[in-house]
Structure 1
Amino acid sequence: MSTDAVLISSFTFATMQINRHVALFVLLFGTVGNLLNIWVLSEHSLSDNPCSTYLWWSSLSSAIFIWSGTLTRVLQGYNLNWPNTNQPVCKTRLFILTTCFSVAVWTLVGASSDRYLRSSALVKFRNFSTVQTARRILIIIITGSVLVFLEVFYCYEASVPNVPVACYPQSLPCRLYNDWMLILFTTVIPSCFMAVFGSLTIRNIRTRVVQPVMHVEFRNNTANQNVRLRLNDRNINHMLLIQVLVVLLMNLPVTIHRLYASLTANFSKTALRVAIENLIYSLVVLFSFFSYSISFYLYILTGSIYRAALKRVGRRLLRRIGLLH
């Protein structure tokens, strides 16, 4: 057996093991984390905060994104490739995956913008930081993501040869469009927005002490409640900033790989090079999936308000099932 054949076999085996074990870990880890996020963010002390509304939807779309992407990789690890060889399943799965990926990213942009509005010195800006505004922006995000990635039903084909995954755009124009749309719409543009809103929020926090927006129904709140709102805002700012930084850093490798794949799409490649690229692709994609699996654990580490909410919902659950009185 030639050296190239041995290397190809080794890289292929490594890719299979990564898909079999690492992808399964990400799937389970991310599912548990995002479901707990959805549960905790529904708690009353957090649900009336517009930023929490964005984070709730980010967790929901992240859970669907992880399942639509990593489950197929786990099956690939056991040589079960039917989701990539069945045409309707291929197209539907990729549409769900790309749309949910987009929603998961852009809801973080929405949360970052809300933090900027909430910390603004101008009352007219702070008045936009409401749950109603968040819901309107969420409708725009979901609708825009669906429209942008409707091309999946036209471009993607099952059983495409010599590509990282068999469910892939068949034609070169489709590959270029899809790669650049994923690079720009789900990475570069939202990253720029998050960086801008994050820096503006930090500037606002440093330059003044922000009084929280008080709506009509809260005008008679006590000073203690005002302090609670300020502490909640500070905690959520910290939680969101850490998550945004993690997402940006962990999605950088897959962005670079997609850029490389787009620039070399019409190059002739040897079997060894394809095997190496498939291994790298599996690693960077799982790295990206992992960034949307750890938000719950980041919130636990960085947000005291989140830990308190988790304790409250946990106690309620234990009382409901009779384990705590």
Structure 2
Amino acid sequence: MSSTSMNMTMDNITYLLATVKMRSILFTRYWCIGMFIVGLIGHTLNICVFTRRSLRFNPCVRYLLASAVAGYFIIFGILPVRLLQFGYNWSLFIPSEILCKTLTFLFSWFRILPCWFIALASLDRYLCSSSSVTLRRWSTLPVSSCLIFCVTVFIGITQIPILIFYTIHQDPMICLGQPNSFQKLNGIFLLIIWSLIPSLAMLIFGLLTIRNIQKSAQRAFDHDMINRRQKRIKHVDRQLVQITLVQSILFGTTSAAGAIGGMYNVIDSNLRKDPLSLAVQGLTGNVLSFIGLLSPCMSFYLCTLSSQLFRRELVHLLSVRQ
């Protein structure tokens, strides 16, 4: 190959490398800023609706409220730091190993919590709609507060290995797990605990709740013993079931993408030695990882607004404010 052809090839590779890096930077900037704006508005409205007097003493709403609060940590914590890291090449992870371990631990902890709280909301709907008195007794505010605390602590414990194995790597300087075997196992574990278990729980308990409601409606129809209060309770239950089912699909798909993105980023770099392949790998992994943050930011628009009950509460709230 002539020197002219080699120079042209090198120029093309350099141009493609610069293009990929620029697209990664632009995607990060627009995505993080957009998600911050819509997430801040959505979670604020979620909290305003879920703390309404007519809803605040509902155990299922307590789980949804906890999910919204956890979403605030994602909005004000993960998004700004990732924006600085991938959008402006200023990482808060690499000044010290303590920051590397601590920030990675906290970010991994809080991004998992919202989907588990939604799973608990699905469980509460199943308990509340059950014909068994014993099961219905578990749908209370004290139980919901206890489960929220226990799940928060449990998820934190599962992320403790990050404090042990994460460190700062040189050339390039980056905060990653050590050794490679931990990175890959941690990615698989993250896929299970972040996506698989909560999503299956949401789907299973959601379907069981629908069956309970159908049986309850049939019994009420057969005996003609339902009053206006019972109708409203069942209406609230159906609306909550609708939210939990939609969120199970949303959280399941997006969290799976985020976990896969995390695993994709820790593939042995020896398989992709050239800089262009590494840049494409990094862009793909970042896109998938950011998709994992979509559901906590968009849950209000895709889930809460899909419920007639919560839309009515939101309109009433806005009219009172005016």
- 1:265–1:197 CA distance, 2 compared to 1 (3 A): farther
Q: Where does residue 236 of structure 2 map in the other structure?
A: 232
Contact 2:259 2:292 in 1 (8 A): no
Corresponding letter in the other structure for 1:209:
A
Q: Where does residue 144 of structure 1 map in the other structure?
A: 154
In structure 2, runs of 5+ residues without a counterpart are 1-9, 221-225
**SS at structure 2 position matched to 1:85:** coil
Offset from partner CA, 1:122-152 (integer Å, 9 cap, x none): 2221221112211111111011011111222
For residue 269 of structure 1, the aligned residue among 269, 272, 275 is 272
Q: How large is the Cα RMSD of the aligned pairs?
A: 2.5
22-31 vs 81-90, which moves further: 81-90
For residue 199 of structure 2, the aligned residue among 188, 191, 202 is 191
What CA distance in whole angstroms lies between the structure 2 residues aligned with 1:162 and 1:279? 16
Which residues of 2 match residues 42-81 of structure 1 at below 5 A? 42-81=51-90
Contact 1:17 1:77 in 2 (8 A): no
Corresponding letter in the other structure for 1:150:
I
Q: Where does residue 4 of structure 1 map in the other structure?
A: 13
What CA distance in whole angstroms lies between the structure 1 residues aligned with 2:187 and 2:285? 13
Displacement after TM superposition at 1:198 (Å): 2.0
Contact 2:194 2:256 in 1 (8 A): no
Q: Where does residue 219 of structure 1 map in the other structure?
A: none
Displacement after TM superposition at 1:80 (Å): 4.0
Displacement after TM superposition at 1:306 (Å): 0.7
Displacement after TM superposition at 1:223 (Å): 4.0
Contact 1:21 1:74 in 2 (8 A): no
Contact 1:299 1:306 in 2 (8 A): no
Displacement after TM superposition at 1:47 (Å): 1.1
- 1:209–1:156 CA distance, 2 compared to 1 (3 A): same
Contact 1:84 1:167 in 2 (8 A): yes
Q: Where does residue 136 of structure 2 map in the other structure?
A: 126
Offset from partner CA, 1:44-70 (integer Å, 9 cap, x none): 111111110101001111221233322
Contact 1:58 1:107 in 2 (8 A): yes
Q: Where does residue 205 of structure 1 map in the other structure?
A: 213
What CA distance in whole angstroms lies between the structure 1 residues aligned with 2:265 and 2:24? 18
More relative contact order in 1 or in 2 (CA 8 Å, sep 6+)? 1
Which residues of 2 match residues 292-311 of structure 1 at below 5 A? 292-311=296-315
TM-score normalized with structure 2 length = 0.86
What CA distance in whole angstroms lies between the structure 2 residues aligned with 1:231 and 1:128? 20
Displacement after TM superposition at 1:260 (Å): 4.3
Displacement after TM superposition at 1:284 (Å): 1.3
Q: Where does residue 101 of structure 1 map in the other structure?
A: 111
76-85 vs 61-70, which moves further: 76-85
Contact 1:172 1:266 in 2 (8 A): no
- 1:66–1:211 CA distance, 2 compared to 1 (3 A): farther
What CA distance in whole angstroms lies between the structure 1 residues aligned with 2:71 and 2:218? 31
- 1:159–1:28 CA distance, 2 compared to 1 (3 A): farther
What CA distance in whole angstroms lies between the structure 2 residues aligned with 1:245 and 1:97? 23
- 1:121–1:38 CA distance, 2 compared to 1 (3 A): same
Offset from partner CA, 1:99-119 (integer Å, 9 cap, x none): 112221211111111111122
**SS at structure 1 position matched to 2:159:** helix
**SS at structure 2 position matched to 1:121:** coil
Contact 1:50 1:114 in 2 (8 A): yes
Corresponding letter in the other structure for 1:174:
F
What CA distance in whole angstroms lies between the structure 1 residues aligned with 2:136 and 2:218? 10
- 1:177–1:311 CA distance, 2 compared to 1 (3 A): same
TM-score normalized with structure 1 length = 0.85
Q: Where does residue 287 of structure 1 map in the other structure?
A: 291
Contact 1:121 1:210 in 2 (8 A): no
